[in-house]
Structure 1
Amino acid sequence: MAAAPDQDNPPPRKLPRDARRSQLIEATIETMAQNGYARTTLTQVAKAAGLSHGLVNFHFQSKEGLLLETLLFLAEEYRQNWTEALAASGPSAPEELRALLEADFNPAICTPARLSAWCSFWGEAQSRPIYQERCGANDEEYNRRLEAICARMNAEHGYAVNPARAARVLRVVTEGVWLDMMTMTSPYDLTEAQATVMTAAAAFFPRHFTG
């Protein structure tokens, strides 16, 4: 006798449209982590998602469309992550700076597959103009917030750093740690990654951060 359908966990083909798109994007992230940007195919994504090739075409029309939607998904996920971290932090500049820097190592977004997908997009020249056109405003917002917090550290706590340069260094260090975690043979864990970035913060704001 056939088992009754699980109402809480419908089979992939029965999922709502938005849930199926999310499922395909997650499968794309995993596939890119294994194969890279150029070698990812719709067939591989469909297999990873447990769906038919036709369903992938139905939702995204082409590989380029699927990869673009995956990039936009990752960019929005990243933006939501750091804005929510700031909203949940205390109001002081040190609290906000710590929350912003720690947000990049939230286990929900800092996974091996997501880091590999980001690396694939960063290394693919054709994705850069599209990213800048569609997501550049997100980066500018992040940079402005980080620079403004560094300026508040000066005003409220007596530091005298160049806010734009301090923000740039902290951003570059964070991105460098992400790259380290993607490419090292024996990558360090999230705790060590956060500690590395806090060491950079301590160079600018030693009374509030430790290396």
Structure 2
Amino acid sequence: MSREARRAQLIASTIDTLATRGYSRTTLTDVARAAGLSHGLVLFHFETKEKLLAETLNFLAEEYRQNWQAALAQAGDDPAEQLNALIEADFNPAICTPGRLAAWCSFWGEAQSRPLYQQACGEKDDAYNLQLEAICQRLSDAGGYGRDARHVARVIRVTIEGTWLDLMTMTAPYSPDEALTTVRTCAALCFPDHFTPEGLVPLRAREPR
């Protein structure tokens, strides 16, 4: 395998290991075992556990950024369509997998990982939040809702994050489809002329305020 392919293989194994062992208990030996490779080969590519975890988090953060930006680029200019695209992007089967969700939870849940998370994700999180707020502001203005876009965006964002946690931690977790319905219900409470729990209200059916 090429160097890049081997590193990608090890990052994928790290995601799987984080899902089963958590942040603090993950070791290079665990990752090597999951990949079916030697401990020395992991050291050759990443040198330390800290560098491997940093690269894994960078991979997850960049994958997430590309996912929501691609969804937004296909949504057109309508703010309701854009908000719907951002919501649905978080439940794209390519990123909303048990292994990835558990890996994210590992990085979120360990105090020692917070500086690493801020370094890898701080600017990307800020960009996402500003984009979400701008869309909510445009939708509030267009629909005559008079909402505080900053608070609405925060409510929608923490609802998404909460359903991600539910998918990982509940004794009897619900499906990603149910999680998506939950977030759409939140959007419907904020923008009732544009959303229902089932999805986006068609343009022709929207009631002007």
For the criterion TM > 0.5, the same-fold answer is yes
**Aligned-partner residue type, residue 161 of structure 2:** E
| C-alpha distance in 2 between matches for 1:17 and 1:68 | 18
| C-alpha distance in 1 between matches for 2:109 and 2:134 | 30
In the alignment, is residue 175 of structure 1 matched against residue 161 of structure 2? yes
Q: Which residue is equivalent to 2:195?
A: 209
In the alignment, is residue 196 of structure 1 matched against residue 182 of structure 2? yes
Offset, 1:123: 0.9
3-state SS, counterpart of residue 38 of structure 1: coil
**Aligned-partner residue type, residue 147 of structure 2:** V
Q: Which residue is equivalent to 1:156?
A: 142
Q: Which residue is equivalent to 1:12?
A: none
In the alignment, is residue 79 of structure 1 matched against residue 62 of structure 2? no
Q: How many residues align?
A: 197
Counterparts of 1:6-25 in structure 2, within 5 Å, are 15-25=1-11
**How high is the sequence identity, in percent, across the aligned residues?**
64
8 A contact 2:57–2:120 mirrored in 1: no
| C-alpha distance in 1 between matches for 2:109 and 2:60 | 15
**Aligned-partner residue type, residue 156 of structure 2:** L
Cα deviation, 1:53-111, whole Å, max 9, x if unaligned, reads 11100111011111111111111111111011101113200000000011111110011
Taking only aligned residues, the RMSD between alpha carbons, in angstroms, comes to 0.9
**Aligned-partner residue type, residue 188 of structure 1:** Y
Q: Which residue is equivalent to 1:140?
A: 126
Q: Which runs of 5+ in 1 are unaligned?
A: 1-14
Offset, 1:151: 0.6
8 A contact 2:159–2:183 mirrored in 1: yes
Q: Which residue is equivalent to 1:90?
A: 76
Offset, 1:143: 0.4
TM value normalised by structure 1: 0.91
Structure 1: 4+ residue segments shifted above 4 A: none
| C-alpha distance in 1 between matches for 2:115 and 2:32 | 27
Cα deviation, 1:140-163, whole Å, max 9, x if unaligned, reads 000000000011012222221100
3-state SS, counterpart of residue 195 of structure 2: coil
**Aligned-partner residue type, residue 128 of structure 2:** Y
TM value normalised by structure 2: 0.92
| C-alpha distance in 2 between matches for 1:171 and 1:34 | 26
Cα deviation, 1:153-195, whole Å, max 9, x if unaligned, reads 1222222110000000000100000000010111111111110
| C-alpha distance in 1 between matches for 2:168 and 2:88 | 18
